[in-house]
């Protein structure tokens, strides 16, 4: 090799040492932006909108405010006239909320310092987790357009709004403030973020439009107003006026802690005793449990945690795993709830049948979580109307139903997941559910067939994503099992609905068939008899027999109302030709 | 005379279906017809007469039954179309019956018939249900049979001398009842019914009928009603023996049995069409050996062939010892032979060697 031949190319330790230097997170990001969801221009546009909207929703809910979020995307550029949205490469996004606002001192760091945030260091269910999102979005804009992030925030109508233009110093991971002043603002309270970035606007799957539609389904308590780059304004109205219950913050459960984290916690703890550390810094560790752990580890409960950290942390770690500890509290999770899911699905998806189920809380690796599922089924034409072709069929043609596959919509802490469907635990759970049991077709290893939307939500203090860009839920057995149970619960209700509909339909068809054929039979008789008979009378007589043979009034009842809907199918809505039945969410004002 | 009377009678029978519907409706009951079932289970082999006969089992076809409603409606439509033929004194094909009765039902997207496969069995239902022959219903099949030989026929007043029709021969119509076709003269000694058109052509080209004074008849595969009925008439009216020449495979055996004893689906027609003393002249399983055909012109029996052969072995009319041996022989060899394979020896092997030898030795199966 080159090195051995020519001594001058070898480096001395000193030279090598001189080359070593700190890598800032921001620098790291600029080289690895795909990790955070900025792989390509189209996804980057979506990610920026998503991070800003997620932050707004989190802020509103924490402050107990029903969210009202404006999303605006505009085409920008030097060329005049501006390119069409489909052709444009540069956009300005503006997200405005009615949240609590941000105090002036915090604004620069929140928007221009990576890994700065309120959410990483606590275990509390929220959309954001690491404090990367919005500052990464701002940095992406800065890297692609050179423009600073602009922020307006106001915390009360008695105070002026603060206006900031900030950039991020990518080497130091510190904000650079370009401009800051107090301004007049038409909103009494809230925050507005404006980012200019390179992107690509394209409708369809995994677009900003789909993201907002799906977000609105899982957040029916929020109103979204979307001004698209094409100049349309779409309103996603609030249909549910209760705020989700505010989730409680919890301490980590010992089972969910890894060795490194344990070491760090032992260093940082304020306790002087090991037993105190265990009871004070974890949830579900009573003094008795703490003594048990110490005993199992062969350590003195009065030892200093920092000393243990150095020498015997691994012993503690193993002792924790072998000690029986109560499952973590689960009241820290705020699921969407069946009613709200129904409201969301009903509002955004036109179907004939809706149902939703919320599972009781469960635990994976010491983290409590709740799985919720929902189904929306049908073409939205009411129960009877088929989608028959409007022409007479020729030989060889048929009214074959096309094998449309179900659409799976996935959520984690109310945030829609738009990418990497196939590696997501939720998607696998849908595949593994036996849909045939519920009257839905399914090929081996494929999604169920039919006009079906499958909704799956995982709410947790810590959602295990497969990557930092938060696109797919990691495949833990406990999680997938809960997902399947939720899907099965919904599936059973769908099955009941389909069976009932089929029954009513077959009675209806039976009568229909007779009525249809009576015409033909009577006319044929008339022709055979060369007009020497009363065809109309024959039709009436035959019709009378038909009604008698198809159960008369009983069929009418079957076709109409179902009294026992509530018992058999809780948390469901059925659309009949006479209108919807079930828990129809009222359109409640804010 | 008979010709003028019969159609009226058939029309009356068709109209009786409408009468049943009207009477049932008036009495507030479900209209229904009885239709003899045309299945293997409803077929008996009459050993005395040597023909397959239809049993007495009947199926009820009623209107107010979800499974049958459509068929009932279709039956009425076909009856209507058939009565139209009677009134206008026209004959037609099954295909035309299908088109005539097909339309979209009012206020729906449903067709009365989706394919001819639905209307054909209904015509057969009416044949058996009303005890009317297909020709009486004025429905004809395609002319797929051909005849040549010392025979003079009269068809629609035209005299046809079957010795003067070149290689092509006369195309046998599907209706050959005496009302339509008269046999004016017949001097032949026997009838040779050949399964395949190709072999019939060979024999016709070689003027086999001249040398052996016979009538050459083919149905191009499964012989149609006209061919079978004509063979029967020649057998009946002119006492001609009928020899059947088919491929050596299970389908060939069955074709022979249809000519001889009648078919399962048209069991009600056996009385009129079967030729109980017909003889199986070949190709028999022993022939390849006897006539020195090499093994490599045989074709391996496939699974379907084997299953069919075993099925045929169980039919009551194949229970003669010679037949059981014949089928077993084929199964044991694992091979089947086409008539065409005789060309391996010589193009005219069939004409000059095989048939003369067979006819002389009278080695055939009954």
Distance CA B354, CA B293 (A): 11
ipTM of the predicted structure? 0.75
Instruction: Tell me, yes or no, if A499 comes closer than 8 A to chain B by beta carbon.
Output: no
The DSSP letter of residue B339 is G
Question: Which chain A residues are within 8 Å of B111, Cβ to Cβ?
Answer: 392-393
Domain ranges of chain A: 25-236, 254-322, 331-385+402-590
Checking if the pLDDT of B137 tops 80, the result is yes
Instruction: Tell me, yes or no, if A564 comes closer than 8 A to chain B by beta carbon.
Output: no
Count structural domains, chain B: 2
Q: Which of A396, A525, A546 sits opposite B18 (nearest CB)?
A: A525
Instruction: Tell me, yes or no, if A541 comes closer than 8 A to chain B by beta carbon.
Output: yes
Residue B299 lies in a domain: yes
The answer to whether B242 and B218 have CB atoms below 8 angstroms apart is no
> How far from A472 is each of A375, A419, A427, A456, CA to CA, in Å?
20, 7, 9, 12
Q: Which of A390, A520, A544 sits opposite B105 (nearest CB)?
A: A520
Residue B35 lies in a domain: no
Do residue A521 and residue B66 have CB atoms under 8 angstroms apart? no
Checking if the pLDDT of A113 tops 80, the result is no
Instruction: Tell me, yes or no, if B114 comes closer than 8 A to chain A by beta carbon.
Output: yes
Distance CA A334, CA A320 (A): 28
Q: Which residue has the higher pLDDT, A587 or A449?
A: A449
Is B327 in the same domain as B347?
Answer: yes
Is B161 in the same domain as B260?
Answer: yes
Class of the CATH domain delimited by A25-236: alpha beta
Torsion of CA A376, A381, A383, A385, to 10 degrees: -150
Q: Which of A513, A516, A525 sits opposite B21 (nearest CB)?
A: A525
Q: Provide the CATH number for the domain around residue B154.
A: 3.40.1360.10
Q: Does the A331-385+402-590 domain belong in CATH 2.40.160.10?
A: no
The confidence band for A227, taking pLDDT boundaries of 50, 70 and 90, is: very high
- Residue B74 lies in domain: 2-30+65-140
Residue A147 confidence (pLDDT): 92
Instruction: Tell me, yes or no, if B21 comes closer than 8 A to chain A by beta carbon.
Output: yes
Question: Which chain A residues are within 8 Å of B70, Cβ to Cβ?
Answer: 513, 517
Instruction: Tell me, yes or no, if B23 comes closer than 8 A to chain A by beta carbon.
Output: no
Q: Which of B22, B105, B107 sits opposite A525 (nearest CB)?
A: B22
Is B171 in the same domain as B214?
Answer: yes
Mean pLDDT score, A256-283 = 85
Q: Which of A386, A399, A518, A521 to mutate to test the interface with B (most CBs of B within 10 A)?
A: A521
> How far from B133 is each of B84, B126, B271, CA to CA, in Å?
17, 9, 12
Checking if the pLDDT of A588 tops 60, the result is no
Is B171 in the same domain as B285?
Answer: yes
Q: Which residue has the higher pLDDT, A390 or B333?
A: B333
Is B131 in the same domain as B149?
Answer: no
Do residue A517 and residue B72 have CB atoms under 8 angstroms apart? yes
Residue A98 confidence (pLDDT): 94
Checking if the pLDDT of A124 tops 80, the result is no
Instruction: Tell me, yes or no, if A524 comes closer than 8 A to chain B by beta carbon.
Output: yes
Mean pLDDT score, A347-369 = 88
Residue B53 lies in a domain: no
Our CA-based measurement puts residue A536 at a distance from the nearest CA of chain B, in whole angstroms, of 11
Do residue B114 and residue A519 have CB atoms under 8 angstroms apart? no
Mean pLDDT of chain A, nearest integer: 83
Residue B49 lies in a domain: no
Instruction: Tell me, yes or no, if A405 comes closer than 8 A to chain B by beta carbon.
Output: no
Q: Among B116, B140, B164, give the residue marking a domain's end.
A: B140
The confidence band for A433, taking pLDDT boundaries of 50, 70 and 90, is: very high
Q: Provide the CATH number for the domain around residue B107.
A: 1.10.10.10
Instruction: Tell me, yes or no, if B63 comes closer than 8 A to chain A by beta carbon.
Output: yes
Residue A565 confidence (pLDDT): 54
Do residue A514 and residue B69 have CB atoms under 8 angstroms apart? yes
Q: Are strands B190-194 and B242-245 parallel, antiparallel or unpaired?
A: parallel
Question: Which chain B residues are within 8 Å of A522, Cβ to Cβ?
Answer: 21
Is B293 in the same domain as B342?
Answer: yes
Closest listed residue to residue A109, CA positions, set A50, A153, A48, A65: A153
Residue B58 lies in a domain: no
Do residue A549 and residue B79 have CB atoms under 8 angstroms apart? no
Checking if the pLDDT of A387 tops 60, the result is no
Residue of A nearest to B99 (CA): A395
Mean pLDDT score, A160-177 = 88
Question: Which chain B residues are within 8 Å of A391, Cβ to Cβ?
Answer: 109
Residue B47 lies in a domain: no
Q: Is B263 exposed, middle or buried (0-12, 13-18, 19+ CB in 10 A)?
A: buried
Residue A129 confidence (pLDDT): 61
Closest listed residue to residue A283, CA positions, set A193, A367, A178: A367
Q: Which of A400, A528, A555 to mutate to test the interface with B (most CBs of B within 10 A)?
A: A528
Checking if the pLDDT of A482 tops 90, the result is yes
Q: Which residue has the higher pLDDT, A468 or B58?
A: B58
Is B120 in the same domain as B243?
Answer: no
Note the pTM of the prediction, 2 decimals.
0.60
Which residues of A59-207 form beta strands (DSSP E)? 68-75, 90-96, 149-154, 161-169, 174-183, 190-198
Our CA-based measurement puts residue A391 at a distance from the nearest CA of chain B, in whole angstroms, of 7
Do residue A545 and residue B115 have CB atoms under 8 angstroms apart? no
Residue A310 confidence (pLDDT): 67
Residue B50 lies in a domain: no
Class of the CATH domain delimited by A254-322: mainly alpha
Residue of B nearest to A546 (CA): B64
Do residue B70 and residue A388 have CB atoms under 8 angstroms apart? no
Our CA-based measurement puts residue A334 at a distance from the nearest CA of chain B, in whole angstroms, of 51
Q: Which of A506, A542, A548 to mutate to test the interface with B (most CBs of B within 10 A)?
A: A542
Q: Is A388 exposed, middle or buried (0-12, 13-18, 19+ CB in 10 A)?
A: exposed
Other residues' Cβ atoms within 10 Å of the Cβ of residue A202:
16
Per-residue H/E/C for A476-504: CHHHHHHHHHHHHHHHHHHHHHHHHHHHH
Q: Are strands B151-155 and B181-186 parallel, antiparallel or unpaired?
A: antiparallel
Residue A496 confidence (pLDDT): 87
Q: Is A444 exposed, middle or buried (0-12, 13-18, 19+ CB in 10 A)?
A: exposed
Mean pLDDT of chain B, nearest integer: 89
Residue A394 confidence (pLDDT): 67
Is B122 in the same domain as B208?
Answer: no
Residues contacting B11, CB < 8 A, separation 6+: B83, B86, B87
Our CA-based measurement puts residue A399 at a distance from the nearest CA of chain B, in whole angstroms, of 10
Closest listed residue to residue A240, CA positions, set A141, A161, A343: A343
Distance CA B225, CA B108 (A): 38
Instruction: Tell me, yes or no, if A505 comes closer than 8 A to chain B by beta carbon.
Output: no
Q: Which of B110, B116, B117, B119 to mutate to test the interface with A (most CBs of A within 10 A)?
A: B110
The answer to whether A25-236 and A331-385+402-590 have equal CATH topology is: no
Do residue A517 and residue B64 have CB atoms under 8 angstroms apart? no
Give one DSSP letter per residue of B43-59, joined into a string: EEEETTTTEEEE-S-EE
Do residue A514 and residue B104 have CB atoms under 8 angstroms apart? no
Do residue A521 and residue B106 have CB atoms under 8 angstroms apart? no
**Interface A-B: count of C-beta contacts within 8 A:** 90
Question: What would the pLDDT profile of A52-87 be if each residue is shown by its tens digit?
Answer: 999 899 889 889 999 999 999 999 988 888 889 989
Task: Give backbone dihedrals phi and psi of B61, rounded to 5 degrees, phi first.
Answer: -115, 110
Question: Which chain B residues are within 8 Å of A521, Cβ to Cβ?
Answer: 21, 63, 72-73, 76
B98 is catalytic: no
Residue of A nearest to B21 (CA): A525
Span of B131-140, B146-155, B184-193 with lowest mean pLDDT: B131-140
Residue of B nearest to A394 (CA): B114
Do residue A399 and residue B77 have CB atoms under 8 angstroms apart? no
Is B111 in the same domain as B198?
Answer: no
Is B157 in the same domain as B97?
Answer: no
Q: Which of B98, B99, B243, B291 is catalytic?
A: B99
Is B136 in the same domain as B163?
Answer: no
Residue B219 lies in a domain: yes
Q: Among B92, B117, B140, give the residue marking a domain's end.
A: B140
Is B312 in the same domain as B233?
Answer: yes
Question: What would the pLDDT profile of A504-555 be if each residue is shown by its tens digit?
Answer: 767 666 667 788 889 899 999 999 999 888 999 999 999 888 888 776 555 5
Residue B363 confidence (pLDDT): 87
In this prediction, what percent of chain B has a pLDDT beyond 90? 59
Residue A589 confidence (pLDDT): 35
The answer to whether A291 and A297 have CB atoms below 8 angstroms apart is no
The DSSP letter of residue B114 is S
Q: Among B122, B140, B158, give the residue marking a domain's end.
A: B140
Residue of B nearest to A386 (CA): B109
Instruction: Tell me, yes or no, if A533 comes closer than 8 A to chain B by beta carbon.
Output: yes
Q: Which of A520, A536, A539, A540 to mutate to test the interface with B (most CBs of B within 10 A)?
A: A520
Residue A2 confidence (pLDDT): 45
The answer to whether A30 and A170 have CB atoms below 8 angstroms apart is yes
Q: Which of B76, B105, B110 sits opposite A524 (nearest CB)?
A: B76
Our CA-based measurement puts residue B87 at a distance from the nearest CA of chain A, in whole angstroms, of 10
């Amino acid at each position: 090799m080159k090195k051995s031949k020519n001594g001058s190319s070898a480096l001395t330790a000193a030279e090598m040492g001189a080359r070593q230097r700190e890598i800032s997170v921001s620098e790291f990001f600029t080289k690895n932006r795909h990790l955070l969801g900025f792989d390509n221009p189209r996804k980057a546009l979506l990610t920026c909108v998503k991070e800003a909207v997620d932050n707004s929703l989190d802020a509103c809910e924490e402050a107990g405010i029903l969210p009202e979020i404006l999303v605006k995307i505009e085409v920008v550029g030097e060329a005049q006239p501006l390119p069409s949205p489909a052709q444009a490469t540069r956009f300005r996004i503006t997200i405005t909320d009615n949240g609590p606002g941000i105090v002036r001192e915090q604004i620069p760091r929140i928007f221009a310092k990576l890994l700065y945030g309120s959410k990483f260091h606590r275990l509390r269910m929220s959309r954001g987790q690491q404090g990367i999102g919005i500052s990464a979005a701002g940095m992406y804009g800065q890297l692609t357009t050179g423009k600073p992030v602009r922020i307006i925030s106001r915390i009360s109508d008695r105070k002026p709004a603060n206006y900031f233009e900030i950039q991020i110093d990518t080497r130091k991971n510190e904000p650079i403030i370009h401009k800051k002043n107090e301004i007049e603002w038409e909103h009494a309270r809230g925050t507005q973020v404006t980012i200019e970035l390179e992107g690509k606007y394209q409708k369809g799957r995994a677009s900003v439009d789909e993201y907002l539609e799906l977000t609105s389904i899982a957040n029916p308590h929020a109103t979204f107003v979307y001004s698209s780059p094409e100049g349309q304004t779409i309103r996603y109205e609030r249909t549910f006026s209760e705020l989700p219950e505010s989730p409680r913050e919890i301490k980590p459960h010992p089972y969910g802690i890894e060795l490194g984290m344990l070491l760090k916690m032992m260093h940082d703890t304020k306790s002087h005793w090991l037993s105190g550390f265990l009871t004070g810094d974890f949830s579900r560790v009573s003094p008795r449990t703490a003594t048990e752990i110490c005993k199992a580890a062969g350590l003195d409960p009065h030892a200093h945690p920092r000393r243990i950290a150095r020498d015997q942390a691994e012993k503690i770690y193993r002792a924790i795993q072998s000690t029986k500890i109560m499952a973590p509290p689960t009241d820290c999770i705020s699921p969407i709830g069946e009613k709200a899911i129904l409201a969301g699905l009903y509002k955004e998806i036109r179907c004939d049948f809706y149902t939703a189920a919320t599972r009781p809380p469960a635990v994976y690796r010491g983290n409590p979580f709740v799985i919720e599922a929902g189904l929306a089924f049908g073409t939205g034409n009411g129960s009877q109307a088929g989608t028959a072709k409007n022409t007479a069929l020729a030989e060889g043609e048929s009214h074959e139903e096309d094998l449309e596959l179900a659409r799976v919509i996935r959520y984690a802490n109310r945030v829609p997941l738009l990418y990497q469907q196939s590696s997501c635990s939720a998607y696998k759970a849908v595949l593994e559910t036996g849909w045939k049991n519920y009257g839905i077709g399914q090929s081996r290893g494929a999604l169920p067939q039919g006009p079906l939307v499958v909704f799956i939500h995982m709410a947790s203090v810590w959602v295990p994503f497969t990557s930092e860009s938060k696109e797919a839920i990691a495949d833990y057995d406990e999680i997938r099992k809960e997902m399947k149970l939720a899907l099965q619960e919904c599936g059973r209700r769908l099955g009941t609905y389909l069976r009932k509909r089929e029954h009513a339909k077959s009675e209806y068809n039976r009568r229909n068939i007779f009525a249809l054929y009576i015409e033909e039979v009577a006319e044929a008789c008339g022709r055979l008899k060369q007009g020497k008979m009363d065809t109309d009378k024959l039709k009436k007589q035959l019709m009378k027999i038909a009604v008698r043979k198809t159960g008369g009034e009983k069929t009418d009842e079957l076709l109409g109302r179902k009294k026992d809907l509530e018992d058999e199918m809780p948390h469901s809505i059925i659309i009949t030709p006479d209108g919807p039945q079930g828990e129809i969410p009222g359109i409640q004002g804010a | 005379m008979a010709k003028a009377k019969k159609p009226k009678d058939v029309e009356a029978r068709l109209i009786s279906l409408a009468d049943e519907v009207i009477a049932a409706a008036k009495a507030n009951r479900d209209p229904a017809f009885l239709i003899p079932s045309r299945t293997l289970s409803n077929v008996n082999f009459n050993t005395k007469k040597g023909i397959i006969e239809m049993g007495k089992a009947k199926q009820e076809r009623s209107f107010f039954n979800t499974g049958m409603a459509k068929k009932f409606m279709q039956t009425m439509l076909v009856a209507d179309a058939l009565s139209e033929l009677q009134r206008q004194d026209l004959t037609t094909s099954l295909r035309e019956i299908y088109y005539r009765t097909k339309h979209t039902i009012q206020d729906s997207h449903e067709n009365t018939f989706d394919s001819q496969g639905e209307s054909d069995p209904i015509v057969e239902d009416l044949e058996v249900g009303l005890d009317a022959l297909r020709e009486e219903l004025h429905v004809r099949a395609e002319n797929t049979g051909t005849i040549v030989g010392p025979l003079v026929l009269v068809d629609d007043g035209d005299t046809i001398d079957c010795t003067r029709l070149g290689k092509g021969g006369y195309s046998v119509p599907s209706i050959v009842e005496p009302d339509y076709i008269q046999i004016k003269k017949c001097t032949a000694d026997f009838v040779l019914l050949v399964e395949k058109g190709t072999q019939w052509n060979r024999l016709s080209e070689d003027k086999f009928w001249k040398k052996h004074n016979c009538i050459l008849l083919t149905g191009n595969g499964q012989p149609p009603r006209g061919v079978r009925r004509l063979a029967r008439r020649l057998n009946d009216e002119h006492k001609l023996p009928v020899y059947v020449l088919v491929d050596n495979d299970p389908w060939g055996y069955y074709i022979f049995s249809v000519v001889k004893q009648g078919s399962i689906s048209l069991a009600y027609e056996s009385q009129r069409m079967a030729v109980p003393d017909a003889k199986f002249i070949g190709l028999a399983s022993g022939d390849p050996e006897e006539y020195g055909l090499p093994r490599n012109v045989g074709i391996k029996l496939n699974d379907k062939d084997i299953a069919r052969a075993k099925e045929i072995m169980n039919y009551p009319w194949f229970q003669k010892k010679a037949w059981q041996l014949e089928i077993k022989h084929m199964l044991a060899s694992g091979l089947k032979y086409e008539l065409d394979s005789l060309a391996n020896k010589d193009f005219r092997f069939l004409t000059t060697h095989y048939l003369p030898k067979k006819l002389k030795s009278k080695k055939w199966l009954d």
